[in-house]
Amino acid sequence: MPRFAGDVIKRRAALLREAGEVELRKYLNTQIGKKLKVIIEKNGFGKSDNFLDVKLANQGDVGEIVEVKILGVEDNYLLCQ
């Protein structure tokens, strides 16, 4: 397999990271309005049953599973009610 120059590799890697961010944002936006189960991992944050990061408005106990409605997206986090 041919080797590529370092600047080519870096440019392609940046393009792939950017494309990944765009696709993640699209997918996160498809979750708005849905109800998801979220396990609370630490104060104010959790992980949904489809492995997305969620900022929680109401805090519960770590390890507790709560059902939330997704209201929006901020950075790479789903925001819930």
pTM: 0.81
pLDDT at 4 over 90: no
**What gap in Å lies between CA 5 and CA 67, rounded to an integer?**
49
- Domains detected in the chain: 6-80 (2.40.50.140)
Distances (CA, A) of 81 to 7, 19, 36, 44, 60: 45, 29, 11, 12, 13
pLDDT tens for each residue of 21-64: 999 999 999 999 999 999 999 888 999 999 999 999 877 899 99
